[in-house]
Structure 1
Amino acid sequence: MTTRVEKKPSTTKRMLWMILGVVLLIALIVGIKALLIVRMIHGMPKPAPFTVSTTTASEQPWQPSLSAVGTLRAARGADLAMDVAGLVTGVNLTSGQDVKQGQVLVQLRDGDDVAQLQQLEAAAQLSQLTFERARKQLAVQAISKADYDTAAADLKAKQAAVAQQQVVVAKKQLRAPFAGRAGIITVSPGAYLSAGTTIVTVQQLDPLFVDFYVPQSELGRLQVGQVVNMKLDAYAGRSFSGKLNAINPKVDPGTRNVQVEATVPNHDKALTPGMFAKVSVDAGSQQRQLTLPQAAIVYNPYGDTVYVVQPSKGKDDKGQPLPSTVKQTFVTVGDTRGDQVAIVKGIEAGTVVVTSGQIKLKNDAPIAIDNSVQPADSAHPAPQEN
């Protein structure tokens, strides 16, 4: 009788089938999870576009200039004092008064000196008559040449004494050395003044000088006769213009700056010596530059950038146009002027860039444009009062 033997799968095959089953189970679970995640992502609402403001880069006339800080100085100014001591008998001046050249401002007591001057003048007149008589007598040889020479020498001595006394009398008067405006005077008649004591200042206010410094690297851009524009905090919204009239021939070895002097008309006497001024020198001919508001530039250590607006591409599932996006672009900036900055390289005229809201942007970020409020973009901004 034949016995039937049943064959059983080997242990290795059973292990392989078990591993295959586990792998298939894991793959199934992963697939289900991935499908759920994809459905969840598609079901999530898309992020709303970021609201920004934009502007279009355009070319504008640009006057190259050098900026500096200056100080106003009178064309002529002096602190006046007496050469001699004495008692004040007259003050022909009020504080802030405009004075003429040679005008007597303060008078010291000079009665004794004037009396002595009159005495010397009388002696000089007598000596003059004596000399004239001697000259006529010498012509007819009525006197010797020695007598004539004595009369001539006496006349010169008497005239010299008169001139010396006139100087003494003049020292008792304080006169304006030039036309200008007087400062505050506190001297009154009856006061005693010592020699050398400052009494009043006189400043010539038209024109005025403005002194400022520029780096030696900019020296080649300066020329005598260039237009100088000046603004002061005391006169917001008003600009003063003048001419560059002198450049110091020596560069300061400590700062490597050179001193420059300009002349500014001051017909209405609005400017005062010592005032602080913001100076701008027109250096070179006018050019055309591509400009943007400074607010549009994102300044970074690795380079300056702007966000360029990319037009909408395509439509969404509902047939609505997709929002515009942005692309970060590196630019090379040049000189600045007020609220504007010149763009040397990176974008072209007509490029639309973001001017506000850049902090929340990145490449390909969707945006919504709202230009109801624009950043400052003035070439010559002025302070605004609320």
Structure 2
Amino acid sequence: MQNKKPHVRKLMILLILTLFIGTASWRIYNAQQQASLAIDPLAVTTVAVRETPKANTLKLTGTVEGLTSANISSRLAGKIHQILVEDGQAISQGAILMTLDTVELGNAERIAQNNVRQTEANYNTAQVDYQRYYNLYGKNAVTKQQLESVQTRMITSRIEVDNAYANLNNAQKQIADGSIVSPVTGVVANKAVTIGQVVSPGTTLLTVEQIDQVYVVVNIEQKDIATAKLGATVTVVVDSYPGQSFTGTVTVINPVAGNESRMFRVKIKVDNSEQLLKPGMFAKATLTAGEPQSVLAIPRNAMMSQKGLHYVYVAEMGQAKKILVETGELIGDLIEVKAGLKVGMAVVIDNLDKIKDGDALLREGSIDR
């Protein structure tokens, strides 16, 4: 009996401790429940996650280029005498852009003209001599060898006349090339020359951009190239004109992908009669890729972001549940949701700055979108 008393005493102490801990835990739990009941639920409005049609488009980025970009250079080495245009000036095809100093060329032309006169005089003399010897040969007054010699001199004089005219034409052509003209109608750009500057043949002096129509040049990946078809309509926007769009047409598709990028270069022709689009501008192009798709979407104002992550609050069983989502494109005032939500979920759209995960919610309204 004495050996059993310590064992009973231990059991009694253990039982008392168990009762004490259980009572304390119950009181704490009861206090938490009372505190929870004392907090009023937050009134919110929800919107059901639903499917909505989304345009099946291919969005591309590119650069505006002139329909024709002509690099203007001189055919001759020489000194710039006049510059008749400035950057941004509209010009017509054939307009003189600048001239070279042609004094030496003019002297060369006069020498060529004098050479023409001299060779023509020699040829005329040779013709007269040949006719005279021809008549004498008919009277047996000269030998056949003498006649042939005079005839050869006359032919040689004729060749010299032709050569003199060729030299004259070259001299006149060089003088004409001293006036540098535009091969296209467009706008002057990138003028990089001054009066008195000595230029070399082939050096670009300025460019003339034909911009009454322009190309928006984009690069399309191999997986999307089937979407681009000649004649397809494309919508183009640029940051310079917010809210304004331009309509273009696919006109050029490079049949060979780039060696490094493995992307296909595509040109979209856009009417630019008001010359709003300038070569070098960054542009965004939207190409219709097929029939509209059905996607999940929620109002944009339901979306919250933190440290690069996007999340929403969903009302479930009277409580707020924070859910991370993967977003897609904007569709008007909606935003596409690629992952995280299902059709029918009630997404909270107001009082978002007051909600924490697990808060009690009172749905005062539900908007059916």
TM over 0.5: yes
1:352 is aligned to 2:346? yes
**3-state DSSP class of the match of 2:256?**
strand
Q: How does 1:158-177 map to 2 (within 5 A)?
A: 160-177=166-183
Once the two structures are TM-superposed, the CA of residue 160 in structure 1 deviates from its matched residue by: 3.7
Q: How does 1:81-120 map to 2 (within 5 A)?
A: 81-111=73-103, 113-114=105-106, 117=109
Equivalent position amino acid for 1:43 in 2: Q
Once the two structures are TM-superposed, the CA of residue 278 in structure 1 deviates from its matched residue by: 2.7
1:258 is aligned to 2:264? yes
Whether contact under 8 Å (1:231, 1:238) holds in the other structure is: yes
Query: Which residue is 2:140 aligned to?
Result: none
Q: How does 1:56-75 map to 2 (within 5 A)?
A: 56-75=48-67
Equivalent position amino acid for 1:92 in 2: L
User: Cα gap change, 1:150/1:359 in structure 2, threshold over 3 Å: closer, same or farther?
Assistant: farther
Distance, in Å, in 2 between the alignment partners of 1:72 and 1:157 is: 50
Whether contact under 8 Å (2:76, 2:200) holds in the other structure is: yes
Once the two structures are TM-superposed, the CA of residue 336 in structure 1 deviates from its matched residue by: 5.5
1:236 is aligned to 2:236? no
Equivalent position amino acid for 1:342 in 2: E
Once the two structures are TM-superposed, the CA of residue 18 in structure 1 deviates from its matched residue by: 5.9
Q: How does 1:345-384 map to 2 (within 5 A)?
A: 347-348=342-343, 351-355=345-349, 357=352, 361-362=356-357, 365-368=359-362
User: Cα gap change, 1:169/1:338 in structure 2, threshold over 3 Å: closer, same or farther?
Assistant: farther
Whether contact under 8 Å (2:186, 2:211) holds in the other structure is: yes
Once the two structures are TM-superposed, the CA of residue 154 in structure 1 deviates from its matched residue by: 7.2
Once the two structures are TM-superposed, the CA of residue 227 in structure 1 deviates from its matched residue by: 2.6
1:213 is aligned to 2:219? yes
1:181 is aligned to 2:187? yes
**1:194 maps to which of 195, 199, 219:** 199
Whether contact under 8 Å (2:58, 2:287) holds in the other structure is: yes
Distance, in Å, in 1 between the alignment partners of 2:158 and 2:364 is: 100
**1:268 maps to which of 266, 271, 274:** 274
Distance, in Å, in 1 between the alignment partners of 2:279 and 2:54 is: 32
1:337-366 superposed Cα distances (whole Å, 9 cap, x missing partner): 587543468533x65313574996546x42
Whether contact under 8 Å (2:70, 2:184) holds in the other structure is: no
Once the two structures are TM-superposed, the CA of residue 218 in structure 1 deviates from its matched residue by: 2.0
Distance, in Å, in 2 between the alignment partners of 1:292 and 1:242 is: 32
Distance, in Å, in 2 between the alignment partners of 1:263 and 1:53 is: 48
Distance, in Å, in 2 between the alignment partners of 1:269 and 1:187 is: 25
User: Cα gap change, 1:42/1:188 in structure 2, threshold over 3 Å: closer, same or farther?
Assistant: closer
TM-score after normalising by structure 1: 0.66
TM-score after normalising by structure 2: 0.68
User: Cα gap change, 1:53/1:213 in structure 2, threshold over 3 Å: closer, same or farther?
Assistant: farther
Whether contact under 8 Å (2:55, 2:293) holds in the other structure is: yes
Distance, in Å, in 2 between the alignment partners of 1:91 and 1:30 is: 100
Q: How does 1:304-323 map to 2 (within 5 A)?
A: 307-310=313-316
Distance, in Å, in 2 between the alignment partners of 1:48 and 1:151 is: 118
Q: How does 1:13-92 map to 2 (within 5 A)?
A: 25=16, 29=20, 32-33=23-24, 36-37=27-28, 39-46=30-37, 47-49=39-41, 54-92=46-84
Distance, in Å, in 2 between the alignment partners of 1:108 and 1:304 is: 65
Whether contact under 8 Å (1:64, 1:282) holds in the other structure is: yes
**3-state DSSP class of the match of 1:44?**
helix
Distance, in Å, in 2 between the alignment partners of 1:360 and 1:195 is: 73
1:228-266 superposed Cα distances (whole Å, 9 cap, x missing partner): 233323333332331222222223343333322222222
**3-state DSSP class of the match of 1:228?**
strand
Once the two structures are TM-superposed, the CA of residue 71 in structure 1 deviates from its matched residue by: 1.7
User: Cα gap change, 1:32/1:63 in structure 2, threshold over 3 Å: closer, same or farther?
Assistant: closer
Whether contact under 8 Å (2:233, 2:250) holds in the other structure is: yes
User: Cα gap change, 1:186/1:24 in structure 2, threshold over 3 Å: closer, same or farther?
Assistant: closer
Equivalent position amino acid for 1:268 in 2: E
Q: How does 1:269-284 map to 2 (within 5 A)?
A: 269-284=275-290
Whether contact under 8 Å (1:88, 1:106) holds in the other structure is: yes
- The percent of aligned pairs where both chains have the same amino acid is 23
Distance, in Å, in 1 between the alignment partners of 2:183 and 2:266 is: 27
**3-state DSSP class of the match of 1:242?**
strand
Distance, in Å, in 1 between the alignment partners of 2:174 and 2:19 is: 122
User: Cα gap change, 1:155/1:334 in structure 2, threshold over 3 Å: closer, same or farther?
Assistant: same
User: Cα gap change, 1:44/1:275 in structure 2, threshold over 3 Å: closer, same or farther?
Assistant: same
Gaps of 5+ in 2: 128-134, 136-150
User: Cα gap change, 1:99/1:27 in structure 2, threshold over 3 Å: closer, same or farther?
Assistant: closer
**3-state DSSP class of the match of 2:254?**
strand
Once the two structures are TM-superposed, the CA of residue 25 in structure 1 deviates from its matched residue by: 4.8
